[in-house]
Amino acid sequence: MLPGLEADGKMIWTYKEAMLPEALPKSLLVIGSGAIGIEFASFYRALGAEVTVVEVLDRILPVEDEEISAFARKAFEKQDMKIITGATVKKLDKGADNVTATIEQGGKVTQSTFERVILAIGITGNIENLGLENTKAKTDKGHITINQWGETGEPGVWAIGDVAGPPWLAHKASHEGVVCVERIAGVKGVHPLDISNVPGCTYCAPQVASVGFTEAKAKAAGRQVRVGRFPFIGNGKAIALGEPEGLVKTVFDAKTGELLGAHMIGPEVTELIQGFVIARTLETTEAELMRTIFPHPTISETMHEAVLDAYGRVIHM
C-alpha cells in the first residue's frame, strides 16, 4: 500500500478481497499492471465488469518483453479493457458505495469513479517483528539477504521464498525450499537455484509466459542477439482451437547460439514455456532446437517455428 492508496477491504481491495468478492462490481479500477493486476483485470473483464488498468510505467506487464507487452495491450483493448499507462493514481476518495480516483497522466489530472478498486502495486516481504534486527541477518529493500543456499548472515537462520526477494513466485519459493533443506541435511550434489531460469506465467486471457532474457535485457547485457518470432495465426492447431491470437518470440546469442530467452502470449503458453525452460537448463543452442521434432498438429509447433525464424528457416510464414 502507498500513502493515499490504502485498502479498506470493502471498496478498495487487496488481492485477498479480490479473490473472494461478495458481488461482481460493475466497474473496477486496477492499480498496477504486473502479473497479479493483469490477472484480476482479465478475470473480472471476462465476467463482464468494466475494467480500467492504471500503470505508472509506459507499458503493461513491464517485466515482460516489450513486444509481448504491446501484444497483450492490444488484445485486452480489443476486449474493451481500458488501459492508462504512464499515469499515477494520486488519491482515492471513498463515497457511499464507490471510489473516486484522481489520476495524473502527462501533467493532466482527471477524476473517475469506480465501484471497486484493486491495489496491485507490489510485493514486499513480511520481515518486521521477526527479531532479525538483533541478529547478523541482513535485509535489503524489504527482503532478507541470502546466499545461494538460503543462508542469512546469522548462523542457523535460513530464508526462502518471497521474504528472500524476487521473483515472487510459488515455484521459485518451493525450489529454494528444497535446495535449502537439502543443503542443511548435507545432501551431496545439491544445485543452487538458477534465478535466470525461473519461468514467469500470467494467467490472463490470452496467457503470457516467459523465461530468461528479454531482447532489451540481452542487449543491455552486451549480447548480440538473433530474434525469432512466430504468430499463432500461422498454426493449424491454434486455428482449430479457435484461439489464433498470440506470438512466440525467441532470443538467441548471435555468437554462440545459446537460447537466452523465450517470450510467449497465446493459448496454453503457461504449459508450453516448460519446453524452453528445459532447453535452457540443458544449455541448448539453436542447432539442437532446430533439429528437435515437434508433433503435428500441436500449438508447440509455434515454438519450433520461432526458433527457425531466428535463423531465417521459418516454414509456415
Cβ–Cβ under 8 Å, residues 112 and 103: yes
What's the rounded Cα separation, in Å, for the pair 287 and 313? Answer: 12
Q: Which of 171, 191, 296, 316 is catalytic?
A: 296
> Based on CB atoms, which residue is closest to ligand FAD, 162 or 301?
162
In angstroms, give the least distance from the CB of 124 to ligand FAD: 11
In angstroms, give the least distance from the CB of 29 to ligand FAD: 17
Residue, CB closest to ligand FAD: 161
Q: Which of 8, 236, 247, 244 is nearest to 119 (CA)?
A: 8
Q: For residue 215, count other CB atoms closer than 10 A to its CB.
A: 19
In angstroms, give the least distance from the CB of 95 to ligand FAD: 26
> Based on CB atoms, which residue is closest to ligand FAD, 150 or 161?
161
Q: Which of 219, 197, 215, 226 is nearest to 307 (CA)?
A: 226
In angstroms, give the least distance from the CB of 32 to ligand FAD: 12
Q: For residue 99, count other CB atoms closer than 10 A to its CB.
A: 20
Residue 108 DSSP SS3: strand
Residues 6+ apart with CB under 8 A from 153: 135, 136, 137, 138, 145
In angstroms, give the least distance from the CB of 41 to ligand FAD: 12
Chain residues binding ligand FAD by CB under 6 A are 15, 36, 126, 130, 161-162, 168-171, 173, 203
Which residue type occupies 142?
A: G
C-alpha cell at 169: 513466485
Whose cell is 515472487? That residue is 168
> Based on CB atoms, which residue is closest to ligand FAD, 14 or 112?
14
> Based on CB atoms, which residue is closest to ligand FAD, 173 or 314?
173
> Based on CB atoms, which residue is closest to ligand FAD, 160 or 306?
160
C-alpha cell at 9: 477491504
Is 296 a catalytic site residue? yes
- Residues with catalytic annotation? 296
